[in-house]
A and B are shown apart, each in its own frame.
Chain A
Amino acid sequence: DGGITQSPKYLFRKEGQNVTLSCEQNLNHDAMYWYRQDPGQGLRLIYYSQIVNDFQKGDIAEGYSVSREKKESFPLTVTSAQKNPTAFYLCASSIGGLDSDEQFFGPGTRLTVL
Chain B
Amino acid sequence: SQQGEEDPQALSIQEGENATMNCSYKTSINNLQWYRQNSGRGLVHLILIRSNEREKHSGRLRVTLDTSKKSSSLLITASRAADTASYFCATPLSGSARQLTFGSGTQLTVLP
CA gap between A85 and B104 in the complex, in Å? 19
Determine whether the beta carbon of A102 is less than 8 Å from that of B88: no
Within 8 A of A (CB), among B87-112: 88, 90, 92, 97-105
Chain B interface size, under 10 / 10 to 19 / 20 to 34 / 35 or more = 20 to 34
Determine whether the beta carbon of B104 is less than 8 Å from that of A100: no
Which residues of B have CB within 8 Å of A43?
43, 88, 102
Chain B CB within 8 A of A75 CB: no
Dominant secondary structure of chain A at its interface with chain B: loop
Which residues of A have CB within 8 Å of B90?
103
Residue of A with least CB distance to B4 = A42
Which of B31, B33, B100, B102 has most A Cβ within 10 Å? B100
Chain B CB within 8 A of A63 CB: no
Which of A31, A43, A90, A103 has most B Cβ within 10 Å? A43
Chain B CB within 8 A of A2 CB: no
CA gap between A110 and B41 in the complex, in Å? 10
Determine whether the beta carbon of B31 is less than 8 Å from that of A99: yes
CA gap between A99 and B99 in the complex, in Å? 9
Residue of B with least CB distance to A98 = B97
A residues contacting B by CB (< 8 A) are 31, 35, 40-43, 45, 48, 50, 58-59, 88, 90, 92, 94, 96-108, 110
Q: Knowing that A98-B97, A104-B45, A108-B40 are A-B contacts, what are 14 other residue pairs whose CB atoms are under 8 Å apart, sorted by A's residue number?
A: A35-B102, A48-B98, A48-B99, A58-B99, A94-B98, A99-B97, A100-B33, A100-B97, A102-B33, A102-B48, A103-B43, A105-B44, A107-B41, A108-B42
